[in-house]
Amino acid sequence: MEITLQNVVFAIVAAAMMLCSFLTVTTKNILRSVTYLLFTLLGTAVFYFMLDYTFLGAAQIIVYVGGVVVLFVFSILLTRSDKNLNARLQPSKILSAAIAALVGAGVFLWCMLTHNFASQVAPTGEELDMKVIGQTLLGADKYQYLLPFEAVSVLLLACLIGGVLIARKR
């Protein structure tokens, strides 16, 4: 049982992600919470890179880190959420939320650790060809994704118009 560089990287990234996702929901300062979310999302991108889905990791970094996190920071500053995060909750409510989360996590862990998965193929290190991704995304045959692609484009247009319409000044 030798320990490779990949194991070390995985262990470090996994530990950092778990720590950051825990701090995301427990820290009192919402700007710090967004920063921890940023590190969690970057760790997810590293996971995609380790699974040899390079395009997916790049999309994750561009969309989440470049778009969503910046949007969060802007909206926090615009709504002055950094001043009034007052999470003054009764301890009983925090306790019940923790129990709900722990029971859920326990059930999931029990399911996935006792289930015998079919033969696993470890990532071989050869990344998914960009040509394959493009042809699958824009093909109309079986197992190809032209229709969802167009549906997402319409959805994004609707979101663009809806966002402007909702947030504009009257």
Partner 1 sequence: MEIQLQYYLVVSCFMLACGIFGFFVRRNTLAMLIAVELMLNAADINFAAFNRYLFNDALEGHFFTLFGIAIAAAETAVAVAIMINLYRNLNSIQTKDIEDMKH
Put residue 169 in one of left, alpha, beta given phi > 0 → left and psi -120 to 50 → alpha. Answer: beta
Q: Counting contacts by CB under 8 A, is residue 101 touching partner 1? A: yes
Q: How many residues bind partner 1 (CB under 8 A)?
A: 87
Q: Counting contacts by CB under 8 A, is residue 2 touching partner 1? A: yes
Q: Counting contacts by CB under 8 A, is residue 3 touching partner 1? A: yes
What is the residue-wise DSSP string for 72-136? HHHHHHHTTTTT-------HHHHHHHHHHHHHHHHHHHHHHHHS---------SPPPPHHHHHHH
Q: Counting contacts by CB under 8 A, is residue 47 touching partner 1? A: yes
| Other C-beta atoms lying within 10 Å of the C-beta of residue 60 | 20
- List 97, 130, 138, 146, residue binding partner 1 (CB under 8 A): 97
What is the residue-wise DSSP string for 132-170? HHHHHHT--STT--HHHHHHHHHHHHHHHHHHHHHHS--
Q: Which amino acid is at 126?
A: E
Which residue do the tokens 């995301």 mark?
24
| Cα 96 to Cα 104: distance, rounded to the nearest angstrom | 12
| Residue 80 CB, nearest approach to partner 1 (Å) | 8
Residues numbered 12-41 forming contacts with partner 1, rule: CB under 8 A: 14, 17-18, 21-22, 24-26, 30, 33-34, 37, 40-41
| Residue 64 CB, nearest approach to partner 1 (Å) | 7
- List 39, 65, 127, 128, residue binding partner 1 (CB under 8 A): 128
Closer residue to partner 1 in complex, CB, 117/140: 117
Closer residue to partner 1 in complex, CB, 76/140: 76
Closer residue to partner 1 in complex, CB, 79/140: 79
Is 35:61 a contact under the CB 8 Å cutoff?
A: no
Q: Counting contacts by CB under 8 A, is residue 44 touching partner 1? A: yes
| Binding map of partner 1 across residues 144-163, x = CB under 8 A, - = no contact | -x--x---x--xx--xx-xx
